[in-house]
Chains A and B, each alone.
Chain A
């Protein structure tokens, strides 16, 4: 900008400007060409997707089993539109018709998708993970573990695909994968297994009989309580005296969540466990059962040396309703134990606040 700026600088600027102008023209041209080819590709995809969907629908309504082979053979080279059409239909169709879709997948795409599961490209792994629930035979546990530790989109696709298939075979496979996983991410497994609900019962019962690592066993027990799978209650009882404290804590918590009247004596027993964590869980369960026979025990627990036990005893008494509130009033007004009285007063305050809000 200054008068004595050199000739060289001007020359550089001029050349830069020329190059820039050429590049701008190239950009405009590229935008137009790119748009043209992209539009054509989208039209091609849409047309094939629509045609394959129609053929699949026709196949679903046909009684001729040969139709499955015909549709699969005809479209196996159109991998993208075919898998999209299969997935979109499978979302809406259940029962034997869905099996027909699986058969088409098996004939036309399964081999390729199995290769894709091991692909270094994220998109391919993702595509394959979405199709996991179509597999006639699930891939080996090692591969599934890799998928569940893959990048976020792949992991999520695998989880949602597996969570869609509540068959015993799938569940057993997932449990086997977990049991052989050296460093499992329990949150991921919880996300897969929780939606399967009751379908978990038998496979989980079988697994609880195995000799498992304590963290896996604890996870299973927790899962049985979270869903809750009440028919597994007898299977959980064997763990109430486990040597592993974590297993006992999870057992107490699971049994508490099941809210079964027959668990009263078991919870009462566990509420006197040597570990305060187990005590705290069992005490909460006693509250959920609303059995007034537990009140003297819960009042005594308000004087526990452990804050969490006192807190859960207060919670349990609140859950009991009127008899529990009355017990809290008595402790608050007459207990010689300052800590018990404080906890009882806190419970009463919460009760009053809740009552006012209601």
Chain B
């Protein structure tokens, strides 16, 4: 019995070690790719001036769609921000998705909106629209009030009302840099035939000063949980997404800030409604459609156009957010399982989908398996503790190195933190992130599997203070 268990533990341990090596090799590869890309991007940024292109007719008009559900604390700031972007032709469509608070009233009062009869083509099916609000003094703003149908449904309603060939999906609790739109639209000007989607970097606004819808001062938040998330976001965006974008394997354009070609999104029927990960789902379905049509395309990530969003600052909110993200990933993978390891879907089927499936989706389960094996081995006296401690230290070291590299990537790209002490303040978190925070999030993501099997479709409440 003991020998059999020893055998199982031995094989599983080696499998986990191999998994650990392959996973970290991927991360290191992405970081190396990102280093080159970000250095190139930084150099380009010194020379590129999108503002030079803006007066020419090359620039495409954009519809910004901002779904809002119970955002009374931040909606006015966010809409003010969206209306003050530097871009020649755009419209802002705020979709009030059946809010139960004063979101709509705040919008109506602040922007002095009036209910109008608005005619549009209902191409995508959505929950009924209760009213459309306009004010000629704000010709760019259109507010749509509809019955609650969740975020994807609200975005589809916005798509029905949008007029322009590109649309930008923005969270209504986020703030965009004034030049973010002109920067994110650049791939569509440079390579209009192939670019179908592009996304900018999401940064955390906690600790920053935002006035009149614009970021005034950037600073490091005091909340430890938010600092961990800053490292995570830097790693995910500057390391992961930049690397994946270079390999044309990007599967996610963040729902908080992404721009898409409307014709392609309409061709796939808009956002899928019964999912909690509508952003990833959209990009995966776009890729699937374009591969099936045998069209060449690119999905781009740009590290410069910045969207500021508030991160959860307590454990419960963080757990709810990550649980939802993981359920969204599971749903998307299951709905598009056909693409997995399928050469018909090119780099998406052979690299992007397997990477997300093996390392993002199954990652927490494998990690949990490692801890279970360790406990089982301990019970039966099969663990070499010195060896185990070394392995754990190595894992923490590699994790810290990857996190530190993401700070270096930030230095290579935008250097948004003006004070050196802010950057130094982040360094210890690169280490501690791998000790408790990471294990906690793995547990949250394992729980997401259980919630998924139970059929949970809730978004989960995330407490936000607003700007």
Nearest neighbor of B16 in chain A, beta-carbon distance: A1
Q: Is A274 an interface residue (CB 8 A)?
A: no
Q: Give the segment of A7-15, A135-143, A199-207 that binds chain B.
A: A7-15
Q: Is A28 an interface residue (CB 8 A)?
A: yes
Q: Is the beta-carbon distance between A1 and B420 smaller than 8 angstroms? A: no
Q: Is the beta-carbon distance between A156 and B189 smaller than 8 angstroms? A: yes
Determine the chain A residues whose CB is within 8 A of the CB of B374 once the complex forms. 1
Within 8 A of A (CB), among B300-329: none
Q: Is the beta-carbon distance between A31 and B404 smaller than 8 angstroms? A: yes
Complex-state Cα separation, A163 to B40, whole angstroms? 26
Q: Give the segment of B53-61, B99-107, B269-277, B342-350 that binds chain A.
A: B53-61
Q: Is B172 an interface residue (CB 8 A)?
A: no
Nearest-CB distance from B88 to chain A (Å)? 13
Q: Is A5 an interface residue (CB 8 A)?
A: yes
Checking A2, A38, A80 against B415 with a beta-carbon cut-off of 8 angstroms, the contacting residue is A38
Contact of A28 with B427 at beta-carbon distance under 8 Å, contacts A13-B387, A357-B119 already known? yes
Determine the chain B residues whose CB is within 8 A of the CB of A9 once the complex forms. 387
Q: Is the beta-carbon distance between A153 and B48 smaller than 8 angstroms? A: yes
Q: Is B236 an interface residue (CB 8 A)?
A: no
Q: Is the beta-carbon distance between A155 and B190 smaller than 8 angstroms? A: yes
Determine the chain A residues whose CB is within 8 A of the CB of B436 once the complex forms. none
Nearest neighbor of A45 in chain B, beta-carbon distance: B46
Nearest neighbor of B397 in chain A, beta-carbon distance: A20
Q: Is the beta-carbon distance between A30 and B408 smaller than 8 angstroms? A: yes
Determine the chain B residues whose CB is within 8 A of the CB of A191 once the complex forms. 56, 58
Q: Is B442 an interface residue (CB 8 A)?
A: no
Q: Tell me how many residue pairs across A and B have CB atoms closer than 8 Å.
A: 123
Contact of A5 with B387 at beta-carbon distance under 8 Å, contacts A24-B404, A123-B43, A153-B190 already known? yes
Checking A1, A5, A17, A38 against B411 with a beta-carbon cut-off of 8 angstroms, the contacting residue is A38
Determine the chain A residues whose CB is within 8 A of the CB of B6 once the complex forms. 2
Total B residues in contact with A, Cβ cutoff 8 Å: 52
Nearest neighbor of A18 in chain B, beta-carbon distance: B397
Nearest neighbor of A91 in chain B, beta-carbon distance: B52
Nearest neighbor of A27 in chain B, beta-carbon distance: B404
Q: Is the beta-carbon distance between B390 and A126 smaller than 8 angstroms? A: no
For the residues of B in contact with A, the DSSP-based class is: helix
Q: Is the beta-carbon distance between B9 and A2 smaller than 8 angstroms? A: yes
Q: Is the beta-carbon distance between A2 and B411 smaller than 8 angstroms? A: no
Q: Is the beta-carbon distance between B390 and A14 smaller than 8 angstroms? A: yes
Contact of A21 with B397 at beta-carbon distance under 8 Å, contacts A2-B383, A160-B56, A163-B56 already known? yes
Nearest neighbor of B373 in chain A, beta-carbon distance: A1
Q: Is B253 an interface residue (CB 8 A)?
A: no
Q: Is the beta-carbon distance between B401 and A27 smaller than 8 angstroms? A: yes
Determine the chain A residues whose CB is within 8 A of the CB of B387 once the complex forms. 1-2, 5, 9-10, 13
Determine the chain A residues whose CB is within 8 A of the CB of B49 once the complex forms. 87, 130
Checking B13, B40, B400, B423 against A1 with a beta-carbon cut-off of 8 angstroms, the contacting residue is B13
Nearest-CB distance from A234 to chain B (Å)? 27
Nearest-CB distance from A255 to chain B (Å)? 23
Q: Is B82 an interface residue (CB 8 A)?
A: no
Nearest-CB distance from B36 to chain A (Å)? 13
Determine the chain B residues whose CB is within 8 A of the CB of A5 once the complex forms. 384, 387
Q: Is the beta-carbon distance between A123 and B44 smaller than 8 angstroms? A: yes
Checking B190, B382, B397, B423 against A24 with a beta-carbon cut-off of 8 angstroms, the contacting residue is B397
Complex-state Cα separation, A153 to B377, whole angstroms? 57
Determine the chain B residues whose CB is within 8 A of the CB of A322 once the complex forms. none
Determine the chain B residues whose CB is within 8 A of the CB of A307 once the complex forms. none
Q: Is the beta-carbon distance between A2 and B401 smaller than 8 angstroms? A: no
Q: Is B407 an interface residue (CB 8 A)?
A: yes
Q: Is the beta-carbon distance between B404 and A126 smaller than 8 angstroms? A: no
Checking A14, A24, A126 against B47 with a beta-carbon cut-off of 8 angstroms, the contacting residue is A126
Complex-state Cα separation, A9 to B386, whole angstroms? 12
Nearest-CB distance from A152 to chain B (Å)? 3
Nearest neighbor of A357 in chain B, beta-carbon distance: B119
Q: Is the beta-carbon distance between B390 and A34 smaller than 8 angstroms? A: no
Nearest-CB distance from A221 to chain B (Å)? 20
Q: Is A159 an interface residue (CB 8 A)?
A: yes
Q: Is B268 an interface residue (CB 8 A)?
A: no
Give per-residue flags for A18-41: 1 if the beta carbon is below 8 A from chain B beta carbons, else 0: 001101100110111011101000
Determine the chain A residues whose CB is within 8 A of the CB of B55 once the complex forms. 164
Nearest-CB distance from B181 to chain A (Å)? 17
Checking A21, A36, A156 against B190 with a beta-carbon cut-off of 8 angstroms, the contacting residue is A156
Q: Is the beta-carbon distance between A23 and B401 smaller than 8 angstroms? A: yes
Determine the chain A residues whose CB is within 8 A of the CB of B40 once the complex forms. 122
Q: Is the beta-carbon distance between A20 and B401 smaller than 8 angstroms? A: yes
Nearest neighbor of A129 in chain B, beta-carbon distance: B47
Contact of A159 with B58 at beta-carbon distance under 8 Å, contacts A2-B383, A20-B397, A24-B401 already known? yes
Q: Is A243 an interface residue (CB 8 A)?
A: no
Q: Is A184 an interface residue (CB 8 A)?
A: no
Complex-state Cα separation, A123 to B41, whole angstroms? 10
Give per-residue flags for B382-418: 1 if the beta carbon is below 8 A from chain A beta carbons, else 0: 1110111011011001101100110110011001000
Determine the chain B residues whose CB is within 8 A of the CB of A157 once the complex forms. 48, 52
Complex-state Cα separation, A27 to B390, whole angstroms? 22
Q: Is the beta-carbon distance between A13 and B407 smaller than 8 angstroms? A: no
Checking B51, B388, B397, B407 against A31 with a beta-carbon cut-off of 8 angstroms, the contacting residue is B407
Nearest-CB distance from B425 to chain A (Å)? 13
Q: Is B191 an interface residue (CB 8 A)?
A: yes
Complex-state Cα separation, A229 to B159, whole angstroms? 36
Determine the chain A residues whose CB is within 8 A of the CB of B420 once the complex forms. 32, 35-36
Complex-state Cα separation, A5 to B181, whole angstroms? 56
Determine the chain A residues whose CB is within 8 A of the CB of B119 once the complex forms. 357
Q: Is the beta-carbon distance between A3 and B384 smaller than 8 angstroms? A: yes
Q: Is A266 an interface residue (CB 8 A)?
A: no
Complex-state Cα separation, A161 to B398, whole angstroms? 47
Q: Is A89 an interface residue (CB 8 A)?
A: no
Q: Is B10 an interface residue (CB 8 A)?
A: yes
Determine the chain A residues whose CB is within 8 A of the CB of B52 once the complex forms. 87, 91, 130, 157, 160-161, 164
Q: Is the beta-carbon distance between B44 and A13 smaller than 8 angstroms? A: no
Q: Is the beta-carbon distance between B394 and A2 smaller than 8 angstroms? A: no
Determine the chain B residues whose CB is within 8 A of the CB of A194 once the complex forms. 57
Complex-state Cα separation, A160 to B189, whole angstroms? 11
Complex-state Cα separation, A195 to B427, whole angstroms? 51
Contact of A152 with B190 at beta-carbon distance under 8 Å, contacts A31-B411, A32-B420 already known? yes
Give per-residue flags for A132-171: 1 if the beta carbon is below 8 A from chain B beta carbons, else 0: 0000000000000000000011011101110110000000
Q: Is A327 an interface residue (CB 8 A)?
A: no
Q: Is the beta-carbon distance between A16 and B190 smaller than 8 angstroms? A: no
Nearest-CB distance from A352 to chain B (Å)? 14
Complex-state Cα separation, A156 to B56, whole angstroms? 11
Complex-state Cα separation, A160 to B190, whole angstroms? 11
Q: Is A325 an interface residue (CB 8 A)?
A: no
Complex-state Cα separation, A123 to B48, whole angstroms? 9
Q: Is A127 an interface residue (CB 8 A)?
A: yes
- With most chain A CB atoms within 10 A of its CB, the pick from B44, B397, B427 is B397
Checking B13, B43, B386 against A2 with a beta-carbon cut-off of 8 angstroms, the contacting residue is B13
- Give 3 nearest A-B pairs by CB, closest first: A152-B190, A20-B397, A13-B390
